Structure 1
Amino acid sequence: MHGKLTPGLDFLSDGGEMGALMRAHDWSTSPLGLPERWPQSLRTVVSLMLTSKFPMFIAWGPELAFLYNDGYRPIFGAKHPHALGLPFRQVWSEIWADIEPLVKKALAGEATYHEDLHLVMERNGYPEDTWYTFSYSPVRDETGGIAGMFCACTETTQEVRSRAALKEEQDRLRELFKQAPSFMAMLSGRDHVFELVNDAYLQLVGHRRDIIGKPVREALPEVEGQGFFELLDRVYATGEPFTGSSVRVGLQRKPGSPVEERVVDLVYQPVTDREGNVRGIFAEGYDVTERVQAEKSLRESEARFRNLADHAPVMVWVTEPDAICTYLSRSWYEFTGQTPETGLGFGWLGAVHPDDRAWSAEVFRDANAKREPFRLEYRLRRADGTYRWAIDAAAPRFGSDGSFLGFVGSVLDIGDRKEVEERLRESEAAFRTVTNATPALVWVSSNDGNIVYLNERWYEFTGQRMDEAVGSGWTAAIHPDDLGRILPYWQRCRETGEIYEGEARYRRHDGEYCWHAFRAVPQTGSDGTIERWFGICVDINERKRWEEHQRLLINELNHRVKNTLAIVQAMAAQSLRQVGDGSRPELQAFQDRLFALARAHDVLTRENWEGAELREIIHEVVEPYLRQSTRHFEIEGPRLRLIPRTALAIAMAIHELATNAAKYGALSVPSGCVVIAWTLVPDATPRLVLRWQEQNGPPVAPPTRRGFGTRLIERSLAQDLGGEVRLTYDLAGVVCVMDVPLSDEGGMLEHQSSH
């Protein structure tokens, strides 16, 4: 390629590497055609471009085929040399939306110039921010028409970034100057005119002052006569800086306010030009008023501290940064028998027990090196020669500037507490021994419900490990059907403080579930809040099996009793039919009484014949009447559990009263109502007083004879239970008052909820 040129390609001869590349390029498929056939206008501009060292490119023809020189190659990056001859839109597709309007202007005959234009290019396989300064110029062919465009450009990415970094650094420095903790001011000329001040300087002299551009004597007139203006004049005249420490200055920090004294550390530094001539002064320093006041307060505080420490019940000590003890309170000397000559420095270690001396000294030295608080317990010799346990606790002291000043600590005699702790350890050991000896499962939980102790029986029974059971792991041993029931109850007990008790199934190590009765009581602290719970679980699996067997027997007995009642009912019906009409009312009354007795038996059977709730007994007896919308009952009274004999007697009495009311009384008309109410009379022998009262029924007249129902009520309550029955046939309705003693044999069982 460097031999003889093909005729017509001499315009590519001085084009460097790009000229050679163009000569070797296959132009047969290009819209531009072969170079030797290019128009002279294109040849001229290409020759100009190739011989220039400045980055340039040409976009020619309808497709704007892309031609560029050696200077442009670094801009192309990885797109070189494949972009040669390709359409402009394809070469720079990622920025085409940005430059297309500029290209159109050039093709329309308008040249454009752009400085530091931002473009996001993908010239090396990834997007990157770039900036360019360039011009787009139209290029005309031999006909005078615009055949393409010409671009001379330079990449200014580095310059733009450098300027941005410089501005950012200047802004940062300006912000640092503004926010610097020390006050700063730049003064220029012999009159010391304020050019720059930061926020700290304005805070010192007063924020409301407008001092920029003013001489210092005009901006701060109240400083006149305090020597500062003279100092500035001297620094400016001599070029020697001035440094002052704890200098007092009077400033009027608010308009119209009195002059306020402040204390400053101050430096006046001359600012010179290249020839060494002073052009201004840089003033910098710190307002140390608070520090000076604090130092004064500190001296006063130290005097108070020593007075307080000497009279404190604890032993107080102070060290310097080198760990040397410089102060021991009077109580130290009284306790140990040491004197300042024997105790200060490191002499205090002589009062520490020989077995504790080395390691306690090491703890102290390590804390002093790390400047960290420490707390340790060691034995301290008393003046009488006996040793007592003591707590030594200390914290580092720091100055206002953060410098380490040493330690201040206190020593407290805890011999009595140690004895209590020893007794507590013995008590805990005894508690563990006792709980591990019992066959029951014993546990202790914190106030949040997490288990903190389980005796050995628990682990033996459940097969859990200690790490599996503590916390809330114990719940895995509870039967899933019981867990959902007892966990909310356990939560409620912890919140209310009520005793936690009930029954649940616990899984044995072999996988079988066994019933246990559990009970736990809270232990409260001196403030009344619950600190922990103590609980026990007792195996009641055999009792549960016996109770289940008992329930089966009771159900079987109830079934047989019902069968017997059915037989009695059939025999009575048959007997009455033989002596008369089988539909006689006596037969119906007898059957109703048997039915009421059977319903009362059902209630008692559900309760294993241990007793029944009075309200439930009454509801069972009057339930046939409640089904009728015209029959109304009002039933109210406290919860009361009766033994079976009392429950059956009251059930039969209520039945007789309801039957009579349905025939003749308040239940025989739609407007009628029966009120059943009872109360407990807390005498020496508690009594149940139950009142049956009919209202809004037909007029009532006393019966001419006592019926079987009346005799049944009186016999059941008066004779069998020792109670009293008063029947009153009031015109407004029948009233029956039953007064039943609730003795151990005839009476009441307290209702208890189970969980």
Structure 2
Amino acid sequence: MHHRPALNLDFLSGGGEMGALMRAHDWTTSPLGQPEGWPQSLRTVVSLMLTSKFPMFVAWGPRLAFLYNDGYRPIFGAKHPHALGLPFREVWSEIWPDIEPLVTKALAGEATFHEDLHLVMERHGYPEDTWYTFSYSPVRDETGGIAGMFCACTETTGEVKLRAALRAEQDRLRELFQQAPGFMAMLSGRDHVFELANDAYLQLVGHRRDIIGKTVRDVLPEVAGQGFFELLDRVYTSGEPFVGRNLRVGLQRRPGSPVEDRFVDLVYQPVTDRDGKVTGIFAEGYDVTERVQAEESVRESEARFRNLADNAPVMVWVTEVDGTCSYLSRTWYEFTGQSPETGLGFGWLDAVHPDDRGWSGEMFRTANARQEPFRLEYRLRRADGTYRWAIDAAAPRIGEDGTFLGYVGSVLDITERKEIEERLRASVAEFQTVTNAAPALVWVGAEDGRILYMNERWHEFTGQTTEEALGYGWASTMHPEDVERVLPYWQRCRETGEIYEGEARYRGRDGEYRWHAFRAMPHIGPEGAIAKWFGVSVDIHERKEWEEHRELLINELNHRVKNTLAIVQSMAAQSLRQLSEESRPKLQAFEDRLFALARAHDVLTRENWEGAELREIIDEVVEPYLRQKTRHLDIEGPRLRLIPRTALAIAMAIHELATNAAKYGALSVPSGCVHITWAVEPGEVPRLVLQWRERDGPRVTAPTRRGFGTRLIERSLAQDIGGDVRLTYAPTGVVCVMNVPLTETGGTAEHHSAY
């Protein structure tokens, strides 16, 4: 039997668990080979490493086989023990890119030292942040060459994390100190030197940002004489803290600016050492300027409210959350004769009429429970014992956080209003009685055209109910042909404010339509705009039927007159047909006069022979002369309505003048023009002044004798209607001025507006 020779492994003895592990380890697969073959230099380093309690490792040989001691085992974690003897690169493959440059330096003979180096290791199967303080040193063999490297290390992960946490906590505290809503400052020594000051303190004192290391007296000279320096001295000397509220301090917050009053809540807390000796003062507090000013504003607002309420024409009151009255204005006490002792709480109800006290108090309590606005009308006892009607209205008081605080309300004497309402109700009843007694249809409309009221005659005639007629329902009874005409007109009247009048057909309850004349006047409200419309519609059906019959008769008469004129024309033509050619113009002139008379009759017929517009009469007479585009007439004058006799006389006069102008005057040449103008001269008897003026025609010479046309003009105007005629034959053109009285026998001036 062969026995394995005993190995000289004394250098591994005394090495603790790692020494025993190395002695028992199978080194056949290790780059180092068996321990008995290790060079003395390696044995020496390993012996030194195994006997040390400090974490160490040796990396030896070309492949840097890894050897470590018991102190290094916790660093290895789960890699122990299988990593023993393996190459350094394999053992710490995850951190090799970080440490390879350090290893290279050691193998090149350069020792390195690193403090708290951060490495991400996988010691337990997952990456973890670690920190180490270590040194890498070259190890030489017997030949003097560098055969490996030696490392003594300490894991400082706990210390690094603790320091980081401490710094974070300090940073957090420092951030809290800086961002604290209240101001803070640390003062040291008897002279109160600034060691720390947060942003709130710097904001309070204003522009002084470089205060650290300076005394409060140097930093805040304007505070001298305000008692704060003396307070600091007393706290430092006595060791007793100081607490103050709403302290006024004058600060110069900007260079060159005046001293500004601020208000602070302040604490001076003495800081002591271990022996209890005061070494400084910690100052903290809040800038409460806005709060103080707000409180002052509230006090001023309350004073203004009370002054306003006490002098208001209405009675003002305030309640709390439970409904009890906490304030009544002076006007309440003056009106009711109550005092604060009798009126506050729920005592105010004693001034309410006994018949109204129960239900009004219950409505108030219900509204208070629901926290909603309310409005009451009840009788309130005056100081003289009489009862007056009053309106009591209130709205909830809501705090900034939305909570219900009670009510603020007002009471107003409305006795006069009640009396007016009663008179108004009586007036409305009287109005309805009067309108219902009227034989006409009476209605009241709103400014937008909606009907608000129809009298009983409307419902009796149309058969509509009140609900059917009001609003725009009344329009359904109007004849469809009249709807298209009347409703746009009604819209225009509402917009312009002009009187709404006209005629329309309404359907009766029997289905038959009857003509009505309507007229409505706008009622202007206090603000100058239309408030309502008051209208009346009168049945004119019989009158319309008579007018239609009269129109039929007039048309028949006009037809017969025209036939008569035609017979006269025919008789004249037959009687004068034997005339010579030289006499033919006389026949033509006669026929033209008949045609002019017929045209005037046409205008009067269209107007039912009640009268005619002057402009329309002139247009009809001169129309034949305007068919030639070379002839020009300028006609201008105000609207003027003439009675039939005056209209016919002027029509014949204009015809004679136009005929003469067409033969001899301005209308005989292309360049000629005739101006026809008129005006009304006011007076006891208004007169129409109508002027015919020719220009740019042939030169005019006075005739040697007066013709028939001239005599016709003078006779028809003078004898028929009492007018005057002045006919002038100026060389530049004929001028004819007619002066006609506008009386019942000569004409009526109904309109003087521009045509």
TM-score grouping bracket, smaller chain normalisation: 0.5 to 0.7
Distance 2:537 2:211 in 1: 85
Match of 2:569 in 1: 569
Whether the 8 Å contact between 1:523 and 1:532 is mirrored in structure 2 is yes
Match of 1:183 among 181, 184, 192: 181
The change in CA–CA distance for 1:262 and 1:454 in structure 2 (over 3 A counts) is farther
The change in CA–CA distance for 1:582 and 1:731 in structure 2 (over 3 A counts) is closer
Q: C-alpha deviations, 1:654-713, integer Å up to 9, x for none?
A: 111111122222222222222111110111111111111222222323322222212211
The change in CA–CA distance for 1:295 and 1:684 in structure 2 (over 3 A counts) is same
The change in CA–CA distance for 1:579 and 1:305 in structure 2 (over 3 A counts) is closer
The change in CA–CA distance for 1:304 and 1:581 in structure 2 (over 3 A counts) is closer
Whether the 8 Å contact between 2:638 and 2:752 is mirrored in structure 1 is no
User: Is 1:628 equivalent to 2:620 in the alignment?
Assistant: no
Q: Which shifted more, 451-460 or 559-568?
A: 451-460
Q: C-alpha deviations, 1:20-75, integer Å up to 9, x for none?
A: xxxxxxxxxxxxxxxxxxxxxxxxxxxxxxxxxxxxxxxxxxxxxxxxxxxxxxxx
Distance 1:537 1:558 in 2: 34
Q: Which shifted more, 376-385 or 421-430?
A: 376-385
Q: C-alpha deviations, 1:201-255, integer Å up to 9, x for none?
A: 997676x89899999999x9799999999999xxxxxxxx999864656666545
Match of 1:457 in 2: 457
1:581 Cα deviation (Å)? 5.4
Match of 1:53 in 2: none
| SS in structure 2 at match of 1:744 | coil
Listed as ranges, the matches of 1:485-634 within 5 Å are 485-509=485-509, 511-578=511-578, 584-634=584-634
Distance 1:748 1:466 in 2: 46
Listed as ranges, the matches of 1:723-738 within 5 Å are 723-738=723-738
| SS in structure 1 at match of 2:444 | strand
Listed as ranges, the matches of 1:631-642 within 5 Å are 631-642=631-642
Distance 1:228 1:666 in 2: 113
Whether the 8 Å contact between 1:371 and 1:396 is mirrored in structure 2 is yes
Whether the 8 Å contact between 1:243 and 1:267 is mirrored in structure 2 is yes
| SS in structure 1 at match of 2:576 | helix
The change in CA–CA distance for 1:462 and 1:580 in structure 2 (over 3 A counts) is same
Amino acid in the other structure paired with 2:643: I
Whether the 8 Å contact between 1:192 and 1:216 is mirrored in structure 2 is no
Whether the 8 Å contact between 1:222 and 1:250 is mirrored in structure 2 is no
The change in CA–CA distance for 1:538 and 1:193 in structure 2 (over 3 A counts) is farther
1:595 Cα deviation (Å)? 0.6
| SS in structure 1 at match of 2:700 | coil
Q: C-alpha deviations, 1:386-409, integer Å up to 9, x for none?
A: 211112233444566766554443
Amino acid in the other structure paired with 1:562: K
The change in CA–CA distance for 1:752 and 1:611 in structure 2 (over 3 A counts) is farther
The change in CA–CA distance for 1:384 and 1:185 in structure 2 (over 3 A counts) is closer
Distance 1:372 1:254 in 2: 50
The change in CA–CA distance for 1:431 and 1:611 in structure 2 (over 3 A counts) is same
Match of 1:119 in 2: none
Q: C-alpha deviations, 1:464-506, integer Å up to 9, x for none?
A: 4444443344444444443343344333323332212122333
Listed as ranges, the matches of 1:53-72 within 5 Å are none
Distance 1:686 1:382 in 2: 69
Give the unaligned 5+ runs of structure 1.
Answer: 1-176, 233-240, 270-280
Amino acid in the other structure paired with 2:181: F
Distance 2:359 2:462 in 1: 45
User: Is 1:662 equivalent to 2:658 in the alignment?
Assistant: no
| SS in structure 2 at match of 1:584 | helix
Match of 1:443 in 2: 443
Distance 2:476 2:208 in 1: 75
Distance 1:204 1:553 in 2: 105
Whether the 8 Å contact between 2:195 and 2:212 is mirrored in structure 1 is no
Distance 1:687 1:648 in 2: 17
Match of 1:414 in 2: 414
1:457 Cα deviation (Å)? 3.3
Amino acid in the other structure paired with 1:456: E
Listed as ranges, the matches of 1:15-414 within 5 Å are 183=181, 246=246, 253-254=253-254, 257-258=257-258, 260-263=260-263, 287=288, 289-397=289-397, 405-414=405-414
Larger Rg: 2
User: Is 1:671 equivalent to 2:671 in the alignment?
Assistant: yes
Q: C-alpha deviations, 1:258-291, integer Å up to 9, x for none?
A: 554434568999xxxxxxxxxxx9989684x333
The change in CA–CA distance for 1:421 and 1:204 in structure 2 (over 3 A counts) is farther
Q: Which shifted more, 513-522 or 577-586?
A: 577-586
The change in CA–CA distance for 1:666 and 1:349 in structure 2 (over 3 A counts) is same
The change in CA–CA distance for 1:650 and 1:740 in structure 2 (over 3 A counts) is same
1:618 Cα deviation (Å)? 0.6
Q: C-alpha deviations, 1:149-208, integer Å up to 9, x for none?
A: xxxxxxxxxxxxxxxxxxxxxxxxxxxx9xx9x9378999999868998xxx997676x8
1:601 Cα deviation (Å)? 1.1
Distance 1:727 1:671 in 2: 22
Whether the 8 Å contact between 1:194 and 1:216 is mirrored in structure 2 is no
Q: C-alpha deviations, 1:300-338, integer Å up to 9, x for none?
A: 444454455444443333434433334444443343333
Q: Which shifted more, 669-678 or 391-400?
A: 391-400
| SS in structure 2 at match of 1:504 | strand
Distance 1:256 1:372 in 2: 55
Distance 2:722 2:423 in 1: 60
User: Is 1:703 equivalent to 2:703 in the alignment?
Assistant: yes
Q: C-alpha deviations, 1:105-154, integer Å up to 9, x for none?
A: xxxxxxxxxxxxxxxxxxxxxxxxxxxxxxxxxxxxxxxxxxxxxxxxxx
Distance 1:504 1:405 in 2: 63
Distance 1:528 1:704 in 2: 68
Distance 2:752 2:450 in 1: 28
Aligned-pair identity in percent equals 73
Distance 2:533 2:366 in 1: 42
Amino acid in the other structure paired with 1:675: H
Whether the 8 Å contact between 1:267 and 1:285 is mirrored in structure 2 is no
The change in CA–CA distance for 1:216 and 1:519 in structure 2 (over 3 A counts) is farther
The change in CA–CA distance for 1:242 and 1:459 in structure 2 (over 3 A counts) is farther
TM-score normalised over the length of structure 2: 0.64
Match of 1:428 in 2: 428
The change in CA–CA distance for 1:292 and 1:364 in structure 2 (over 3 A counts) is farther
1:631 Cα deviation (Å)? 1.8
Whether the 8 Å contact between 1:319 and 1:325 is mirrored in structure 2 is yes
| SS in structure 2 at match of 1:489 | helix
| SS in structure 1 at match of 2:522 | strand
Amino acid in the other structure paired with 1:733: G
What is the RMSD computed on CA atoms of the aligned residues? 4.6
The change in CA–CA distance for 1:212 and 1:504 in structure 2 (over 3 A counts) is farther
Distance 1:202 1:684 in 2: 96
Give the unaligned 5+ runs of structure 2.
Answer: 1-175, 189-193, 233-240, 270-281
Q: Which shifted more, 572-581 or 658-667?
A: 572-581
| SS in structure 2 at match of 1:453 | strand
1:257 Cα deviation (Å)? 3.9
Match of 1:718 in 2: 718
Amino acid in the other structure paired with 2:519: R
Distance 1:700 1:752 in 2: 35
Match of 1:170 in 2: none
Distance 2:243 2:450 in 1: 67
Amino acid in the other structure paired with 1:627: R
Match of 2:692 in 1: 692
1:714 Cα deviation (Å)? 1.6
The change in CA–CA distance for 1:212 and 1:713 in structure 2 (over 3 A counts) is farther
Distance 1:337 1:568 in 2: 103
Whether the 8 Å contact between 1:193 and 1:215 is mirrored in structure 2 is no
Q: C-alpha deviations, 1:545-565, integer Å up to 9, x for none?
A: 332332222222222211111
Q: Which shifted more, 623-632 or 186-195?
A: 186-195
